[in-house]
């Protein structure tokens, strides 16, 4: 029998509350807020997670976000592009904040309202993004109900007729 550590993320119930919004007095930071409750706590806490715009720009480049999103825009009416891009950008920030919150949960969280600063978990976040960029893009794709480009490519390959038939 394995006894989970007190910092096991499965012991927490996390609900997205709001964001991203610009951080007051730090216009180069965005913030998402989550309600977090651990099973042993009587009540939940609010955890704000900040992301610096510079960090967001770096992540977009590292995961190839503009090209990835461009693939989906090909199947969307041009009149809907701006709305889709705006929503996808918000979802990217939310996914990045969620990833950072999960790293904090792995380390354990105190039962108090708190802010996880933009610089927190920087190295760990970069490692997660490099190893599993789909952790960010899959959330966006699912939320926007976009078909997986790689799935549709594979379907086309499977439906191709063999030569000579």
Give the residue numbers spanning the domain of 110. Answer: 9-145
User: Which pLDDT score is estimated for 94?
Assistant: 97
β-pair partners for 15: 35
Residue 161 lies inside a defined structural domain of this protein: no
Q: Would you call 92 helix, strand, or coil by DSSP?
A: helix
pLDDT at 157 over 50: no
pLDDT tens for 60-88 read 999 999 999 999 889 889 999 999 999 99
Higher pLDDT, 89 or 108: 89
Q: Which long-range contacts (CB under 8 A, 24 or more apart) does 55-60 make?
A: 55/96, 55/118, 55/122, 56/30, 56/92, 56/93, 56/96, 59/92, 59/96, 59/129, 59/136, 60/92
Residue 155 lies inside a defined structural domain of this protein: no
Higher pLDDT, 97 or 148: 97
Mean pLDDT for all residues in the chain? 86
Q: From the centroid of its chain, how far is CA 161?
A: 39
User: Which pLDDT score is estimated for 149?
Assistant: 52
Residue 108 lies inside a defined structural domain of this protein: yes
Residue 59 lies inside a defined structural domain of this protein: yes
Q: Distance between CA atoms of 68 and 119, rounded to whole angstroms?
A: 26
Model confidence at 9, in pLDDT bands (50, 70, 90)? low
Residue 60 lies inside a defined structural domain of this protein: yes
Residue 141 lies inside a defined structural domain of this protein: yes
The answer to whether 70 and 88 have CB atoms below 8 angstroms apart is no
User: Which pLDDT score is estimated for 10?
Assistant: 78
User: Which pLDDT score is estimated for 39?
Assistant: 86
């Amino acid at each position: 029998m394995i006894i989970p550590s007190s910092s096991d993320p499965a012991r927490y119930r996390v609900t997205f509350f709001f964001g991203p919004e610009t951080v007051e007095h730090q216009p180069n930071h965005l913030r998402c807020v989550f309600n977090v409750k651990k099973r042993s706590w009587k009540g939940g806490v609010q955890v704000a997670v900040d992301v610096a715009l510079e960090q967001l720009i770096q992540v977009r480049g590292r995961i190839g976000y503009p090209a990835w999103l461009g693939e989906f825009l090909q199947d969307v009416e041009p009149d809907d592009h701006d709305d889709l891009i705006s929503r996808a950008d918000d979802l990217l920030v939310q996914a990045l904040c969620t990833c950072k919150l999960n790293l904090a949960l792995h380390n354990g969280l105190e039962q108090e309202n708190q802010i996880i600063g933009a610089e927190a978990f920087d190295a760990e976040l970069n490692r997660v993004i490099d190893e599993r960029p789909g952790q960010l893009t899959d959330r966006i794709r699912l939320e926007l109900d976009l078909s997986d480009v790689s799935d549709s490519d594979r379907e086309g390959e499977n439906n191709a007729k063999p030569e000579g038939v």
